[in-house]
Structure 1
């Protein structure tokens, strides 16, 4: 019953997103104006399917510096729109007229719709001169001149009317608690809180003595929580790890970027072991590395990493509409609830109403490993949790985690972790 509810809720979420995209699409087609939705950081989170963007803007945003400048412009426009609580008209850094219409979700500011990319008058020689700063060669200047000729010139009344229409649309959607806007509200709330906690923690830790060995112990604990899909503990650990990383790298951009690449690589493996689709995660790593090539600011590196991690964690916790992924979730939950007793493949198959061969094939396709591998991984991770209680012996811990043979437990622990249980307890806990 719960699964059916999750599926219907996710279906409704997708329908709302399609409906919102359709509204933006129709507005863009009717007005031939560029329109996007950005969050309070100036980052685009929604655009119409046939997003209309002028070629002039494309050329300006052809470099990472140009994109970053646009984000800063959008971020500032968001603040102004929230302050005035109505459409805010402005001239962007590239000289185009735009307007920002504020977006709210449950009374919380989540971003703005950006529209325009037009002129109110024919471009003069000053406009042409200013545009040259976005060009690095003769060919680029020639292309810029062609793109300037394509810019639309509209009246002030047309600007105001389109802004008024957008405001009515956003007010209606805000009152209906649109799921896309609510998602942005929740994501921004977590992101703002995380950023604040990291900055506060940096101030208190800068004078404390700690080294990479302390960091690596914390990272091991974080990966353990990832494999166990413990979302609350993961978020608490992220705050600690990112702060440690910045301080240990002495705030050096190159060192931080390298550390983040290593961090994402080990996180990716742990997330796959937790049940995420291996192909999706590996593709995510590839795109993450490509995006990081163009980021030089440490804050933006951290934000990019947060976004990637959120998408990965969603693949474990939110799970989407894929029936196969829902099966994976049910299997994982069953194992985590019964790891301390004997679990057979028949027990699991009976719980999810699937044949042995089908479930084994599906599990291997989705995780790259076997069900037995996952059971052993969960038991080992649970045993590590219990090791923090020094009153429990290794033998007692082993039995509480479903192992009957101490030699088999030790052999499995060494294979998965790299050292035997006693060494791990003394060295890392």
Structure 2
């Protein structure tokens, strides 16, 4: 009886397709076994050889075959490479280990062949190995029908199968990482919901708060602020989860919308437009067949990470800390009359060196980044009706209101006053 394998560890459909293709290409019998030697997959239900079927129908035949497979699987796992052996009945078989994260799940068994044409000595050995067989002459006749596979062809088949199995394993490790990430995400959502209940925070009754948070998230994307973007995204997903009550279609619409908005924010933040649009297209295809809310959330988190990486591509890792610290310093002190010299002195490096790093690593000047931060902060402050345009200008570090209006219009497309009036 076939024993099932946890589909979280190995995709049965993909396993069967891959092993079936190997069988069709080589003509060799193949089956997957667990660590106890029990078969859990025979692709396409291809039958074992007549010889093997006859051996297995004998008294203790199944048990002895299983014991042979179990020992072979153990040896293959121990050496982490194809292991050739002769089964208890005398056939040549090889086992290729299935190893995921250093743990053996079993092996792929291949062969049930001979390596040389059967002769007098082979039949003598065959009779000795199968002393309790019902009819040796019948077994002998069946042995003559077995395929003879040369040692070189057997080794080549084992090597090819090893590559196939490694491909399956690599693919599955990615799946396991996705499962782990999805579980962690579920825990984070549950934790945030519990925290909101503990603090007696009101439930999300409409989308106004959600959209406000979404705008804040997009602002962090444009600034390349990974930490705040990740935190806000997690809060957004919790809002979406509670608001939609897990309705798949609504979640899908919102996720597609969020991905599109994020892609545009990433381009505005400095990412390559062609690359971002290509990634967005691939993302839209990926989520077509998704049937779980958690998978949608996982996918949006991954694409956001990719977009953020595209905003500021740091080519030389030794400069990451310097550039990051410079950005953090600007974020904390944008309201002050900052200069390139101020930032450089804070980092104890020369102004010219810091300016070169920004141009090479971030593809923008320090003043460009400072201006971007100030405008983004101004947009947030303008949502508070008690602040005038002049006060907003001063609060974000512009001492000249006329210059502030000019810069704001360049980035946002309208003057500060027009933008402020549109909010109320």
Which structure exhibits the higher relative contact order, with contacts defined as CA atoms closer than 8 Å and separated by 6 or more residues?
1
Of structures 1 and 2, the larger Rg is shown by 2
Query: What is the TM-score of this pair, normalised by structure 2?
Result: 0.50
